[in-house]
């Protein structure tokens, strides 16, 4: 029974991580650099909801929808004003990675300066009593989170696989030059993927903010987890990234059965290091000369 | 009051110079995109603090902090030497997180999040370095010697080999050089100097805890190296002095502390972004990032 509870907790963690990982991966696949500020975009999204709903008093659903759109726009702004300019200067992916780390510190600290270090909550749903069955306790909200993220991820997967834009995105991800020769505007597709990836971050922000605390530094933790999930599962494959995220969520929550709970974070990093070194293409990824 | 403040700034510049110049050895000269430097700094600080806490004399603990950090430099290279480009950055970043996470959780050794308090001031052959002025002399001496050593390394024949690892690894292989050995050596030297900087830091502030070493510090170090310019010892020294003076003087701006703390990091992040966008070679840099 103990195990069952840890597995459920692992699935909830996995659901969060996979939303972050999926957005990160959409951006990574078409742009070929690690956008580390993605987690901070989630944090910004959560504060947008907080501002609209708690401070300005909008209806929650309107706030959430607006936040998703605004978060998507934030991603596009970062892409247009920072990354594109760097790319025009022929910056390598290493420089873009460093720039994304700088953006992450920038966004985190702007949030900290604006909203202060205090923990915020949306306070939409007060703490609910968990439903207990078979000795497992799970709140209705957590069920909503798992189910809605599962639906969303399925929708993203169908979109990438079958829609016109999804196919264009995959073409650019596969080979931007070749896609360019067939008349695809790679830059435009990359902008779209920044919008969609960051809008996914907005959805993650709404769901995470419903259940957990909102803090200015929440993004750091989220991107580390999301990135690790994407690497473990395969950084070129959407189902892989989702699988990796759930593996990570389960490993973290099952690991603390044997390890002191403080090591929960370390489990992620150790898994990340092992995969980067032993199988950098991830579980479902294809080796494309990463080493 | 002012003199104490100046001495504090001087000491900070001293140990930071060692940290930045040694990072430049790995990042700029050898071309290893190392984001694990903050871990070596932390390892050096903790090694020195723990060993002197057990009664070891300062000089011996100081040497040990270099050796232990150097060993971890070896370990990290063993893990990442064969990875390419940004995968090196990601793996070394992961290493930083693992190191900080272990420091936070290995309570029996590091006292975890409480940190280690009451670290002794150094005593070197009867010279008790307690006053700030004495500590300033010590830090400056160590910094000058370290910078000179690294300067000699990079301007020797060996330094040319290191730069060849960065510029043309395959050509170097064809000449029968062992590029992995060179990478190991560069990272170990770089890590050892970061360990020394850590030891100086620990004995100066006498109270270290895991939050002294974090992700923001990686950005801070990268900003300084890139502002100064890759593969330029002179650039690193000048940029360290400039940026430390800049952030230390922000204290005098009349702002509430809730704004002051974040604004320091906002400035660093903006400086880094602006430099990357408009002057990617920094002040004295000769090469672009790998």
Q: How far apart are CA B99 and CA A101, in angstroms?
A: 19
pLDDT of the residue at A266: 75
Q: How confident is the model at residue A125 (pLDDT cuts 50, 70, 90)?
A: low
Tens of pLDDT, residue by residue over A177-186, are 888 888 888 8
- Minimum Cα–Cα distance from A83: chain B residue: B277
Share of chain A above pLDDT 90, in %: 16
Q: Do A276 and B259 touch (CB under 8 A)?
A: no
Q: Where are the domains of chain A?
A: 2-119+134-278
CB contact B95 to A (< 8 Å):
yes
DSSP secondary structure string for all residues of A141-188: HHHHHHHHHHHHHHHHHHHHHHSHHHHHHHHHHH-HHHHHHTT--HHH
In whole angstroms, what is the distance from residue B290 CA to residue B284 CA? 17
Please compute Rg for chain A using Cα positions: 19
How close B166 comes to chain A (CA, Å)?
14
What pLDDT score was predicted for residue B232?
83
- Bridge partners, residue A132, by sequence: A137
* Secondary structure (3-state) at A212: coil
Burial class (CB in 10 A: 0-12, 13-18, 19+), B8: middle
DSSP B208: B
Banded model confidence at residue A30, pLDDT cuts 50, 70, 90: confident
Closest CA to B219 of A113, A201, A116, A108: A108
Chain A residues in contact with B37 (beta carbon < 8 A): none
Distance from CA of A239 to the nearest CA of B (A): 21
Distance, in angstroms, between B85 CA and closest chain A CA? 7
The mean predicted confidence, pLDDT, of chain A is 83
Contact A291 B259 (CB under 8 A): no
**Which residues of chain B from 108 to 137 reach within 8 Å of chain A, CB to CB?**
112
**Residue pointed to by tokens 């040497």:** B63
Q: What is the mean pLDDT of residues A125-137?
A: 66
pLDDT in tens, A63-110: 889 999 999 999 999 999 988 888 888 777 778 888 898 999 899 999
Residue among B98, B261, B269 minimizing CB distance to A269: B98
Asked if B219 and B269 count as a contact pair (C-beta separation under 8 A), the reply is yes
Contact A103 B273 (CB under 8 A): yes
pLDDT tens digits, residue range A44-64? 999 999 888 888 878 888 888
Q: Do A290 and B263 lie within an 8 Å CB cutoff?
A: no
Cβ–Cβ below 8 Å for A269 and B101: yes
Q: Which residues of B touch A88 (CB under 8 A)?
A: none
Query: Is B257 touching A (CB cutoff 8 A)?
Result: no
pLDDT at residue A191 tops 70: yes
Of the listed ranges A3-7, B67-71, B273-277, the one predicted with least confidence: A3-7
Task: Indicate whether this complex's ipTM tops 0.90.
Answer: no
Instruction: Collect all residues with Cβ–Cβ distance below 8 Å to B191 and sequence separation of at least 6.
Output: B22, B37, B40, B69, B70, B72, B73, B74, B76
Give the separation between CA B121 and CA B123, rounded to whole angstroms.
7
Contact call for residues A201 and A215 (beta carbons, < 8 A):
no
Question: Considering the entire predicted model, what is its pTM?
Answer: 0.85
What residues does each domain of chain B span? 2-215
Q: What does B40-76 look like in DSSP terms, one character per residue?
A: HHHHHHHHHHHHHHTT--HHHHHHHHHHHHHHHHHHH
Q: Which residues of B touch A262 (CB under 8 A)?
A: 104-105, 112
Which range of B88-97, B183-192, B225-234 scores highest in mean pLDDT? It is: B183-192
Closest residue in B to A32 (Cα–Cα): B86
Each residue of B151-194: pLDDT tens digit? 998 888 888 888 888 888 788 888 888 888 888 889 999 999 99
pLDDT higher than 80, residue B87: no
List beta partners, residue A112.
Answer: none
Q: Are strands B123-124 and A136-138 parallel, antiparallel or unpaired?
A: unpaired
| Partner residue opposite B87 with nearest CB, options A227, A263, A276 | A276
Q: Please answer yes or no on whether B273 and A99 come within 8 Å at the CB atom.
A: yes
In this structure, what token pair is assigned to residue A40?
């901070």
Choice among A110-114, A255-259, A262-266, B170-174 with the minimum mean pLDDT? A262-266
Task: Give domain A2-119+134-278's CATH number out of 1.20.1300, 3.30.110, 3.40.50, 1.10.3470.
Answer: 1.10.3470
pLDDT at position B121: 79
Contact B95 A109 (CB under 8 A): no
The beta strands (E) that lie in chain A are given as: 131-133, 136-138
**What token pair was written down for A270?**
């150790």
Is the separation of the CB atoms in A207 and A16 below 8 Å?
yes
Predicted confidence (pLDDT) at residue B215 exceeds the cutoff of 80: no
User: Cβ separation of A33 and B223 shorter than 8 Å?
Assistant: no
Judged by a CB distance cut-off of 8 A, whether residue B268 touches chain A is yes
- Higher-pLDDT residue of B257 and B60 is B60
């Amino acid at each position: 029974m103990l195990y069952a509870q840890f597995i459920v907790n692992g699935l909830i963690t996995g659901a969060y991580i996979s939303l972050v990982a999926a957005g990160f991966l959409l951006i990574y696949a078409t742009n070929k650099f690690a956008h580390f500020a993605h987690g901070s975009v989630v944090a910004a999204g959560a504060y947008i909801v907080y501002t609209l709903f708690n401070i300005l008093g909008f209806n929650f659903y309107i706030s959430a929808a607006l936040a998703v759109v605004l978060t998507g726009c934030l991603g596009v702004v970062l892409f247009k004003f920072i990354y594109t300019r760097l790319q025009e200067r022929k910056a390598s992916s290493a420089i873009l990675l460093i720039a994304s780390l700088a953006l992450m510190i920038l966004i985190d600290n702007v949030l900290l300066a604006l909203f202060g270090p205090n923990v915020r909550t949306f306070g939409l749903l007060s703490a609910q009593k968990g439903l207990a069955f078979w000795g497992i306790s799970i709140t209705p909200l957590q069920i909503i989170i798992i189910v809605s993220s599962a639906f969303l991820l399925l929708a993203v997967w169908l979109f990438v696989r079958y829609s016109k834009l999804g196919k264009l995105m995959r073409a650019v991800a596969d080979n931007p030059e070749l896609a360019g020769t067939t008349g695809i505007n790679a830059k435009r597709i990359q902008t779209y993927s920044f919008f969609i990836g960051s809008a996914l971050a907005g959805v993650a922000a709404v769901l995470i903010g419903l259940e957990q605390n909102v803090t200015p530094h929440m993004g750091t933790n989220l991107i580390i987890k999301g990135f690790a999930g994407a690497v473990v599962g395969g950084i070129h494959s959407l189902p892989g990234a989702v699988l990796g995220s759930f593996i990570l969520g389960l490993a973290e929550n099952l690991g603390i059965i044997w390890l002191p709970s403080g090591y929960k974070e370390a489990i992620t990093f150790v898994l990340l290091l092992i995969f980067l070194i032993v199988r950098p293409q991830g579980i479902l990824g294809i080796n494309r000369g990463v080493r | 009051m002012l003199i104490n403040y100046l001495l504090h700034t001087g000491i900070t510049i001293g140990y930071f110079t060692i940290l930045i110049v040694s990072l430049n050895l790995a990042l700029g000269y050898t071309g290893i995109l190392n984001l694990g430097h903050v871990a070596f700094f932390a390892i050096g600080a903790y090694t020195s603090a723990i060993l002197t806490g057990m009664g070891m004399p300062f000089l011996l603990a100081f040497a040990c902090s270099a050796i232990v950090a150097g060993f971890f430099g070896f370990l990290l290279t063993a893990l990442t030497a064969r990875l390419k480009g940004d995968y090196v950055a990601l793996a070394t970043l992961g290493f930083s997180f693992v190191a900080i996470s272990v420091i936070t959780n290995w309570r029996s050794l590091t006292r975890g999040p409480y940190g280690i308090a009451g670290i002794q001031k150094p005593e070197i052959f009867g010279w008790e370095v307690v006053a700030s002025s004495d500590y300033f002399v010590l830090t400056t001496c160590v910094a000058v010697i370290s910078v000179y050593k690294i300067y000699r390394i990079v301007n020797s024949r060996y330094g040319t080999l290191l730069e060849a690892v960065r510029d043309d690894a395959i050509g170097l292989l064809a000449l029968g050089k062992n590029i992995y050995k060179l990478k190991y050596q560069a990272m170990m030297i770089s890590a050892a100097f970061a360990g020394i900087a850590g030891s100086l830091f620990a004995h100066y502030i006498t109270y270290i805890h895991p939050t002294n070493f974090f992700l923001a510090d990686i950005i801070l170090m990268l900003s300084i190296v890139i502002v100064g310019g890759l593969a330029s010892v002179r650039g690193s020294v000048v940029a360290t002095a400039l940026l430390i003076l800049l952030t230390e003087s922000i204290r005098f701006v009349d702002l509430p502390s809730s704004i002051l703390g974040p604004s320091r990091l906002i400035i660093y992040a903006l400086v880094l972004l602006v430099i990357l966008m408009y002057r990617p070679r920094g002040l004295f840099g000769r090469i672009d990032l790998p």
